[in-house]
Structures are given as C-alpha cells and as structure tokens.
Amino acid sequence: MRDITHFIDGAPVASTSGRFGDVFNPNTGEIQARVGLATTAEVDAAVASALRAQQTWALVNPQRRARVMFEFKRLVEARMDELAELLSSEHGKVIADSKGDIQRGLEVIEFACGIPHALKGEYTEGAGPGIDVYSMRQPLGVAAGITPFNFPAMIPMWMFGIAIAVGNSFILKPSEKDPSVPNRLAELMMEAGAPKGVLNVVHGDKLAVDALLDHPDVKAVSFVGSSDIAQYVYSRGTANGKRVQAMGGAKNHGIILPDADLEQATKDIIGAAYGSAGERCMALPVVVPVGRKTADEVRERVLAELETLKVGVSTDAAAQYGPVVSEAHRKRVTDYIQLGVDEGAELVVDGRGFSLQGYEKGFFIGPTLFDQVKPTMKTYQEEIFGPVLQIVRAETFEEALALPSEHQYGNGVAIFTRNGRAAREFAARVNVGMVGINVPIPVPVAYHTFGGWKRSAFGDANQHGMEGVRFYTKVKTITARWPEGAVEDSAFVIPTMR
C-alpha cells in the first residue's frame, strides 16, 4: 500500500496521526493508496515553516519571484503527461480533461508571471504644498487554500500562484480523494526555485480545516467546495479576523432561445453537462428551452447525441467521460436520480444500470436525462454533481430569465441565441455572477476573475486576475513631505490640501 505524505518545509513528512483516508482508482474501484490525515500539530508545523519562509520571500523583488513562476510553468508543461495520468488515476476524468485541468491552472500561473506590473502602486505628485501621496501593495503573510476533488490541479494553482507571486507563503489543504498531484506541484515549485516552506501541502479532514481557520498566523483563506461548507469556512474564518473567499455550489442553466443554432447548442450542452461526469462547478446540468417546439427539438437532439456518447476508463482516448470519484459519490448521484423519479420528473434516459465490461467495480454512471422537471423539485433546487441533465421547459424569455435569477445558486449561466439584443438584455439582467453567450462553460480567462453570486460565493473577492492580487495583498498609503526652512507651528485642525 502506497502512503501519501504531507509536504512541509520542502520535504515529504509522514503523518503521525494514525488516521488515513483511502485513495481509490475510480476505474476499478480498488484502493490504490492511503493518505495520512494531519494532526493539529502537523498543521502548526506547516504554518511555522510558512511563516519563516515568508519573511525572506517577501523581501525578494517581484521580478525574481516572477522568474520562479516562469520556471514552475516550464516544469509543469514538461511533465504534463505524467501529471495528467496521475490526476486521472485518482479522480477518474479522462486524460484529455486532466490536461485541461492542468492547463487552466497554468493560465493563472502565466498571469502571475506578470506580477511586477500588477503590483505597481499609485502616485500623486503635488497633492498639496510640497506633499506627495503614494500607495504600495504588500503581502499578507501566510495564506491557505482548501480545495475540492474535482480540480486537483487547476484550483490549487488559481490560489497559490498569485498568493506566492505577491510575496506570501502558502499552505494547501487539498481534497483527500485525489491528493497526489498537489504534492507534485509543491515539489515542482521547490524545483523552480521557491525556498522551502513557501508552498506546503497538508492533507486532512475537518480537523485540519479547523486548525487552519483558527491559527492566528494564517491571515487569509481561500476555499472551493459545497455551499454549506463554504458558509462554515467563511463564518469561522472571518470570526477569527481572517480574509476569506469561499466559493460554493452551483446549478448552472443553459437557456436556449428559438432562434439559436440548435445543432451547435445541443453539442455544447452535451459536453458541458456530461464532461468530467458532471463533476464541475461550471457544468450545465439544466437546459431551459423556450417554447414547446424548441423544447421538443432539443430533447430529440440530446437523445440522438447520447446514443453516440461513450463512457470509458480514464485512459481510453475515445471516451467522453470516465467514472465519478468514489462509490459514496456514485451512490449520492444515483439517489438523486431516484428522487427525481419520485418527484414526478420524466426519466428519459436512466444511467444507473451502466456497467463497463472488465471494470464492473468501477464508479461509473451512464448519462442520465430528465424532462418535465419543475422548479419546485428538490432535484432542481440542489446540486447533483453527476452526469445528469434536466430539461426545464419555459414558455417565454421572461420565464427563462427568472429561473437562474431566482435560484439559490448564482455561479454561471449560458444563453444560446442569434439575437444580439436578447443576449445583451439577458446578460445585463440575470442575477448570476458569470454569463456565457453561446459559450457553454463561461469560466473567465485568467486575467479576468472567477466568482459566483448568492450561495455560490461567500465574501467579496473573486478568484484570480486583479481580484486575486487584491485579495492576497494589503494596501499601504503614504503621505509625505520634506519641509524646508523654519519650523512651523503645530496644527490643531485636520490638515487640508489647500
């Protein structure tokens, strides 16, 4: 049995807790490794290492920190195949999708390579008589990230790339379901030239999370996961005086207007709903055709596409998606499918009986399709996070607009149309944080920011882009003058710039 260790102070560190989490191969259902779950003392050791490292790292000029990011990017790209295979072996997503996971993380690293420019402050000469005012951005100290199983490369890089580039050190607490890639990323960061302790990886469960949220030397925490846990992390972290950004769940809608290119829209929705077995916070698990004719045609086109969709093992280059991450998650998804039936939705395609020859113990679920789903149904209101697509029919544009706007989640939404005015109005009015216009998965590019609304995000700062720079730094503003001549009398009123 392979043991997966922590990575603290630049080296592997075995856990002494005696507690372990099983790491499965989702394709076969077999346990392939175990990961040590941290004690509070091990979290403390990681924070102590990060604190020592940060005091020196913050003094390194931004250009040299950027060079470490350049080298880290080169090393990850050189090991893309190795990392993708490792990621797929623990998560279950197909190799091509794992490479996309890594690449989207690297795009934020590319942004971090330009950190000398992003860190420039502001300067006003002559704000008053002989007075200049300027500002600078300084690192917070030790930051931490708590990341989910569905993107074990991308989301950690979203967080630590910018945090480290601006001069912080970082502690990553990844999902215990697929922990190996985060360890490799930390090793590559050391190889790229970051001092030991600048990036630590601590594996664990709620005990480790609480230890990070409570530790006085951790100044900021970034989280991605379910909404209930996001709210908990935000509440506990801010109560301890920390900056917290906590991204939660999603129920993203794809609105299809009658004038849309239905062939392209259907293909886009199939990929967005079933890619990575639906285990994406930016998936499109709800399609909303406007008008009965549109709905009937979309349904028939989806059915035709599902007949050609191939589910396979992660290493099958012809497979569109692989297994879900664990047996527990497979059961969760199949329970939701049964709930949909019980609620009265029409189960058009049932993926619960899917089995792959030779991999009967793998965590596979076939593509599932519901029609006649109503907004009052629990399966519509909650995030299923599996290969399940729901059709919610709308009669008008206004009805379609109201569905994502009134939903508890507000992460992403897409509209498919040829009508520029309708798309513009929809984008302006919809109560959702990220909008795609004929784009099924509207994840912004790395130099913009990622973040949802409502119960999809807690806190007022988004991920990456300049929002990330602002989250991981604090602003210091200096008002300076250099007087000449006689000493002036003390002033007893607030100074003004006359």
Residues marked as catalytic = 281
- CB atoms inside a 10 Å sphere around CB 299: 19
Query: Quick one: the chain helix, strand, coil %, rounded to 5?
Result: 40, 20, 40
**Closest of 467, 474, 461, 473 to residue 448, by C-alpha:** 467
| 108 in Cβ contact with 157 (< 8 Å) | yes
Distance CA 92, CA 29 (A): 10
**Closest of 425, 400, 403 to residue 294, by C-alpha:** 400
**Closest of 240, 242, 216 to residue 51, by C-alpha:** 216
Residues 6+ apart with CB under 8 A from 12: 5, 6, 183
**Closest of 137, 161, 280, 150 to residue 222, by C-alpha:** 161
Distance CA 102, CA 324 (A): 19
Helix (H, G, I), strand (E, B) or coil at 11: strand
Distance CA 413, CA 420 (A): 16
The C-alpha R_g of the chain, in whole angstroms, comes to: 25
Distance CA 266, CA 359 (A): 30
